[in-house]
Amino acid sequence: MTFAQPWLLLGALAALIPLAIHLFDRRKPRPHPFAAIAFVLRSQRRTASRLKLKRIILYTLRTLILLAIPIALARPELRRPGAAVSKAVGPAATVVVVDRGLAMRFVDGESLFEKARSEARSALATLGPEDPVTVLPCGPEVVPPTAPGLDRSEARQTLDRMRPAWSTADLARCFEVAARTLEESPTAGKRIVVVSAFTAGSLRLETPLPTVRGPNDKRVRPEMVLRDVARGRKVLPNHFLSAVKAEPAPQAGARAVQVAFTVRNVSDAPAKEIQATVELGGRVVGKTFLELTPGGTAQKTLTVRAEVGGPVAGAVILSPDGLAEDDRRDFVVQVPRELRALVVNGSPSPVRYRDEVFFLEAALSAPSSPIRPVVKDASAGLREPLDGYDVVVLANVPAPVPEEAARLKAFVERGGGLLVSVGDKVEPEPWNARMGELLPRPMRLVKAAGAESGAGDGRQAKLGEVRWGDPLFAPFSGRGREGLMGARFQRYMLVEGGARSDGSEVLAAYDDGAPAFITTRRGRGRVLLFTSTLDRDWGDFAIRTSYLPLVQRAAAWLAGALDEREALEGRVGQTLTLRPDPQAQVTSVRAPSGVVVQARLETDHGLRVGPLPEPGLYQTFDSGGQLVPGSQFAVTLDPADSDLTRLDEGQLQAYFGEEAVRGPGGTADRRVPIWTWLVVTAAMAFFAEGLLLRKP
């Protein structure tokens, strides 16, 4: 009940006046000697009970008058849920379509889902005993319900089992299924009861309402009865994370992660002081506050630091609102691991800038680099135990002796990375003989370009064909790509022409077609052969802007760190193809709630997982049921589902017809003014009092 002028309720205190008069204003009766007192006594005895009752009624009426008038002046109104128009005459087969979409998780004092369940139970209770009924839980997927029956317990059990979904319901699809179900019933009357919050996303207004087969096989529309669980609300105010992007931020230091997120406010009111918290590895690493205008969007970027490298689970969490489910968004970010690189310097020089690894060391040990290089000369470096390193760089190193070559081979096959660059110390024959099993392709001879070649044009070589899609070169775009393509080479090592079966891949080639970067897999490791020098001896690549990122990226790629960065993210309801390490033998995937998600191995060794049932972090398990480390992935809600804008009265009337949407009360609270009744009550009490007073 609401009051337009609540302060006038103070006037209700006037209802105490009759009581006060009764208690305090007792007039002293006038004494009168009287002869016929016997008749007075007899009359009093005769009328005592009637008079007592009359006094009580009078007191009640006067109190009622004095109570009703001020309450009426305060203009009270009752809010009543609208009931639907019932057009069916006689029994009607009924399908109760209950929206269980994401919007129903909205909490408005009580969750809309529970309200919907109560409304559906109420709808069942109002049906006649001869109305067959069934319940259709309506989510993003629709399962045809059982045929309408007279057994209410089955319908109630369906309601009890129903759970809210993580995506928007498809009401139009549900209406179609409901109409088909109704056609199965022999009962002449057909009715669809819709229990929903009627958000814009749940109902495609361009889809026509379904029809059922009526008398004479004519298609008729079933009676539509709407029960709106968000009555009286124009909008369900909701702010939510529409996008989150987390990526390593090497420029901000080791293990730095840049988290950029977008927050939307779908409401007709501003959202103030929204706290956004960033968690990494279960630890709060950043906080910020946002202000959002009605319908506005805000973007924030936080740079945070992870405690460890590798795949790290994180989340952005907003201060919760009515729909808390979309105020958290999980992600998995590959934090660059700290890589240890052994750089074997094959041509040291006391003049630093002429040293073979001067530029390489500077690039690898840059402040933002995750690589920690250890530089050794050839004799020491090749004897160095390799267990503590992720990558070995052989920079213009003479061919290793067989023992050293064997250790290198074992290192690579265990998963290590090997980068080989050439130079004047590299002789193809011994290299091919001792390191042939590791090299992508055998070396042939050194080719001179430009002035050194003695050719007429004097043109230096440059990169001609580059596989930009390869992880090694993927970051190069725009000016970065121009910087790489601008490098000039006077000499480079030619390699043997490769066969497709040797597993080598040319990632980049010079403009004459000779391979510049060739890679191959050896065991679990990778080998990358750069057919020129890493210093300025054979070209100017070392002083190009592309040098630093390329060598850092090459080291990371060789160590397998680039593969780890490809964190997957899925959407609820969709399927996702995982490409786990074949040796990990991932066989099952579990949702955050522990539910095992359907996973199917495909011919290309991908693991197709889905449909993904819920948002959050998913874990993968091997055939032994053991958790596969580093293979978790995040699943998020579709931001479009978080837009809880409601269909307005006019739209619903236009779609369902005015007979289904019973005026404003059909989808909103029916405001029943009761002050008029109070005035009538007061008038009637006044009239009754007059009658009682008139008739002694």
Partner 1 sequence: MLAKLAGVKLRARAVMEGVLSGLHKSPHQGQSVEFSEHKEYAPGDELRHLDWKAFGKLDRYYVKRYEHETNLKATLVVDASGSMGYRSGPLSKLEVATTLAGTLAYLLVRQQDAVGVSVVTRAGAADIPPRAAAGHLHTVLDALDTLQPSGGTDLFAAADHLAERVRRGQLVLVFSDLFDDRDEALARLLALRARRNDLGLFHVLDPAELEFPFDDPTLFLSLEDERRIEVNAREIRESYLEELQAFLDRTRAACAEADVDYTVVRTDEPLDAVLLRFLGRRLRRAA
Between CA 126 and CA 150 the distance in angstroms is 13
Task: Say if strands 525-530 and 417-421 run parallel, antiparallel, or are unpaired.
Answer: parallel
Q: How far is the CB of 16 from partner 1 (least distance, A)?
A: 23
Q: How far is the CB of 32 from partner 1 (least distance, A)?
A: 5
Taking the complex as a whole, the smallest distance from the CB of residue 35 to partner 1 amounts, in Å, to 4
> Looking at the DSSP assignment, which residues form a beta bridge with residue 262?
243, 299
Is-cis flag, bond preceding 248, omega within 30?
A: no
Considering beta carbons, is residue 53 or 188 the nearer one to partner 1? 53
Rounded-to-integer distance, Cα 394 and Cα 386, Å: 13
Cβ closest to partner 1, residue 38 vs residue 351: 38
- Least distance to partner 1, CB of residue 52, Å: 11
How would you label 643-659 residue by residue, b for 16+ Cβ within 10 Å and e otherwise?
Answer: bbbbbebebbbebbeee
Cβ proximity to partner 1, 49 vs 623, nearer residue: 49
- The residue among 35 and 499 lying less far from partner 1, judged by its C-beta, is 35
End-to-end CA distance of the chain: 40
Q: In sequence order, what are the residues at sequence separation of 6 or more whose Cβ sits closer than 8 angstroms to the Cβ of residue 585?
A: 622, 623
User: Alpha-carbon distance 487 to 479, whole Å?
Assistant: 13
Do the beta carbons of residue 93 and residue 187 sit within 8 Å? Answer: yes
Residue 45 beta carbon to partner 1: minimum distance, rounded to whole angstroms:
9
**Taking the CB of residue 29, how many other CB atoms lie within 10 A of it?**
6
User: b/e string for 409-443 if b means 16 or more Cβ within 10 A?
Assistant: bebbeeebbbbbbbbebbebeebbebbeebbbbbb
Count Cβ neighbours within 10 Å for each residue of 123-139 and write b for 16 or more, e otherwise: bbeebeeebbbbbbbbb
Least separation in angstroms between residue 62's CB and partner 1 is 16
* 43/349 with CB nearer partner 1: 43
Residues that bind partner 1 (CB under 8 A): 27, 29-44, 46-47, 51, 54, 696
| SS3 assignment, position 589 | strand
Question: Token pair of 664, please?
Answer: 């404003």
Q: Closest CB to partner 1 among 46 and 219?
A: 46
Kindly state the smallest distance separating residue 25's Cβ from partner 1, in Å: 12
| Of 30 and 605, CB closest to partner 1 | 30
Tokens coding 114: 């529970």
CB of 693 to partner 1, least distance (A): 9
Q: 78 forms bridges with which residues in the sheet?
A: 672
Output the smallest distance, CB 17 to partner 1, in A: 20
CA-derived radius of gyration, the chain: 41
Smaller CB separation from partner 1, 46 or 234: 46
- Output the smallest distance, CB 48 to partner 1, in A: 9
- Please give the Cα distance from 97 to 169 (Å, whole number): 11
State the CB neighbour count (10 A cutoff) for residue 89. 8
CB of residue 27 vs partner 1: minimum separation in angstroms?
Answer: 6
Cβ atoms of 265 and 297 closer than 8 Å: yes
Q: How far is the CB of 57 from partner 1 (least distance, A)?
A: 13
The CB-of-691 to partner 1 minimum distance in angstroms stands at 15
Other beta carbons within 10 angstroms of residue 81's beta carbon come to 17
Q: Where are the alpha helices (DSSP H) in 447-590?
A: 479-485, 547-558, 561-564
Can you tell me the distance from the alpha carbon of 276 to that of 288, in angstroms, rounded to the nearest whole number?
5
Q: Closer to partner 1 by CB, 16 or 37: give it.
A: 37
CA distances from 384 to 345, 474, 646, 693 (A): 13, 33, 69, 119
Of 54 and 467, nearer to partner 1 (C-beta) is 54
Based on CB atoms, which residue is closest to partner 1, 673 or 690?
690
**Distance in angstroms (rounded) separating the CA atoms of residues 23 and 80:** 40
b/e string for 593-614 if b means 16 or more Cβ within 10 A? eeeebebeeeeeeebebbbbbb
56 or 410, CB closer to partner 1? 56
Q: Closer to partner 1 by CB, 26 or 605: give it.
A: 26
